């Protein structure tokens, strides 16, 4: 039976490095749970596994979507669930003539790892992870830009009042000022004709799951974020942003995400490189704080201190115990 090990936590906590070491010991594969690593050409700023790392361990769910397309949580969930179960035919959302990251013709996972080895799901996108571990039921409605523009022109207060009329159950769970969730609920209603509250729920998977979280005190995490930002710039983040701006235009939505939006301001000569660096560190710290809050809400996660000198061995012992417990299942 399939077994799943999740490695999660805030950005810069060393998830990828730990997962790589575990995957090599387990002779298994890594599935990315990062909402930006799914996009091609966004490499340095997303801390995507290097080609050398990908040669050491097969990585999936990276480079499967073009930057001009949208990968929804429902899209991600369908692909990840199929891979975890070792199924073929998972669709690459990008150009079918481009095999970068494509898993359409890849062998099933069962041919890539030993039969009793668990699959590793690794990343910091909480909603991606939750969609798998809790089996979230997600309405398959892609963002409707024209509809959203029309709805946004009405104003949040009026939108919320409309939601209270068409889907009072959803409205009761959404804060009056939460424009993002209000808009999404109305979008689903107008596209499908059914309230989003009727289409949501959970159907947890039947296979065993071990969830490992990495964390450390805020000061140490801040230092790690600073070091990682410095490394990204040294690795060529500025050149990556220049290339992406030239190829796709500076208004590409992905270029307004963490790390890219700050460097884009430097490329446009609006701020200095030092200012871009400082803003990236500040915004990354704020993002990491939100991630920690999200993950801490889930009691299933077993936490490990990244400052521990024997972190790998402690996690390895827990993994072995998990495998042994379910080895006959």
Task: Report whether pLDDT(94) > 70.
Answer: no
Mean pLDDT, residues 258-278 taken together? 97
Mean pLDDT, residues 197-209 taken together? 89
Clarify whether residues 208 and 222 are in a common domain. no
Choose between 135 and 100: higher pLDDT.
135
Q: Supply the CATH number for residue 308's domain.
A: 3.40.50.300
Clarify whether residues 121 and 253 are in a common domain. no
Judged by phi (left if over 0) then psi (alpha if -120 to 50, else beta), residue 39 lies in beta
Q: How far, in whole angstroms, is CA 320 from its chain's centroid?
A: 26
Three-state DSSP class for 210?
strand
Per-residue confidence (pLDDT) for residue 273, from 0 to 100:
98
Clarify whether residues 70 and 208 are in a common domain. yes
Clarify whether residues 105 and 53 are in a common domain. yes
* Lowest pLDDT segment from 60-69, 135-144, 219-228: 135-144
**Which residues are annotated binding-site positions for substrate?**
11-16
Task: Report whether pLDDT(95) > 80.
Answer: no
What tens digit of pLDDT does each residue of 10-49 get? 999 999 999 999 999 999 999 999 999 999 999 999 999 9
Clarify whether residues 132 and 154 are in a common domain. no
Task: Report whether pLDDT(263) > 60.
Answer: yes
> Minimal CA–CA distance to 214: which of 295, 323, 118?
295
**Which residues are annotated binding-site positions for ATP?**
9-16
Average pLDDT of the chain? 90
Clarify whether residues 255 and 316 are in a common domain. no
Q: How many domains does the chain have?
A: 3
Taking a C-beta distance cutoff of 8 angstroms, is the pair 8, 302 a contact? no
Clarify whether residues 99 and 181 are in a common domain. no
**Which residues are annotated binding-site positions?**
9-16
Query: 144 pLDDT band (50/70/90 cuts)?
Result: confident
Clarify whether residues 24 and 85 are in a common domain. yes
Clarify whether residues 130 and 229 are in a common domain. no
Task: Report whether pLDDT(148) > 50.
Answer: yes
Beta bridge partners of 8: 213
Query: 93 pLDDT band (50/70/90 cuts)?
Result: low
Residue numbers of the domain that contains 156: 145-198
pTM of the model: 0.84
Long-range contacts of 61-64 (CB under 8 A, 24+ apart): 61/31, 61/32, 61/33, 61/37, 62/32, 62/34, 62/37, 62/38, 62/101, 63/37, 63/38, 63/39, 63/100, 63/101, 64/38, 64/40, 64/92, 64/93, 64/94, 64/101, 64/102, 64/103
Clarify whether residues 285 and 303 are in a common domain. no
Choose between 199 and 5: higher pLDDT.
5
Clarify whether residues 287 and 185 are in a common domain. no
What tens digit of pLDDT does each residue of 102-140 get? 333 344 444 444 556 799 999 999 999 999 999 988 887
Q: Supply the CATH number for residue 180's domain.
A: 1.10.20.140
Percent of the chain with pLDDT over 90: 77
Clarify whether residues 185 and 312 are in a common domain. no
Copy the structure tokens of residue 256: 């307004």
Q: Supply the CATH number for residue 245's domain.
A: 1.10.287.890
What is 216-233 written as a DSSP string? --HHHHHHHHHHHHHHHH
Per-residue confidence (pLDDT) for residue 139, from 0 to 100:
82
In the sheet with 209-215, reading across from the earlier edge strand, the strands are 59-60, 30-32, 119-122, 4-9, 209-215, 301-305
Per-residue confidence (pLDDT) for residue 328, from 0 to 100:
65
């Amino acid at each position: 039976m399939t077994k799943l090990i999740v490695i999660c936590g805030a950005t810069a906590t060393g998830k990828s490095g730990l997962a790589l070491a575990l995957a090599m010991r387990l002779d298994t594969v890594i599935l990315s749970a990062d909402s930006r690593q799914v996009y091609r050409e966004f490499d340095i700023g997303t801390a995507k596994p290097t080609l050398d790392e990908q040669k050491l361990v097969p990585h999936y769910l990276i480079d499967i979507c073009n930057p001009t397309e949208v990968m929804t949580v429902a899209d991600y969930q369908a692909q990840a669930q199929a891979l975890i179960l070792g199924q073929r035919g998972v669709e690459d959302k990008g150009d079918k003539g481009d095999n970068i990251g494509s898993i359409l013709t890849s062998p099933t996972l069962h041919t890539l790892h030993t039969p009793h080895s668990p699959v590793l799901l690794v990343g910091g996108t909480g909603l991606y992870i939750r969609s798998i571990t809790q089996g979230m039921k997600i309405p398959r409605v892609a963002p409707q830009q024209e509809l959203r523009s029309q709805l946004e022109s009405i104003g949040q207060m009026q939108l919320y009042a409309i939601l209270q009329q068409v889907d009072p159950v959803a409205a009761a769970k959404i804060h009056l000022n939460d424009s993002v969730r209000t808009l999404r609920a109305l979008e689903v209603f107008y596209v499908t004709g059914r309230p989003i509250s009727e289409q949501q729920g959970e159907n947890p998977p039947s296979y065993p799951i071990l969830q490992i979280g990495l964390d450390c005190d805020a000061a140490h995490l801040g230092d790690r974020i600073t070091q990682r930002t410095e490394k990204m710039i040294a690795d060529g983040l500025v050149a990556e942003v220049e290339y992406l701006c030239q190829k796709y235009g500076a208004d590409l939505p992905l270029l307004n995400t963490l790390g890219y939006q700050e460097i884009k301001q430097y490329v446009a000569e609006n701020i200095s490189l030092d200012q871009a660096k400082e803003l990236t560190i500040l915004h990354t710290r704020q993002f990491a704080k939100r991630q920690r809050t999200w993950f801490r809400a889930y009691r299933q996660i077993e936490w490990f201190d990244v400052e521990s000198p024997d972190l790998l061995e402690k996690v390895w012992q827990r993994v072995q115990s998990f495998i042994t417990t379910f080895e006959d299942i």
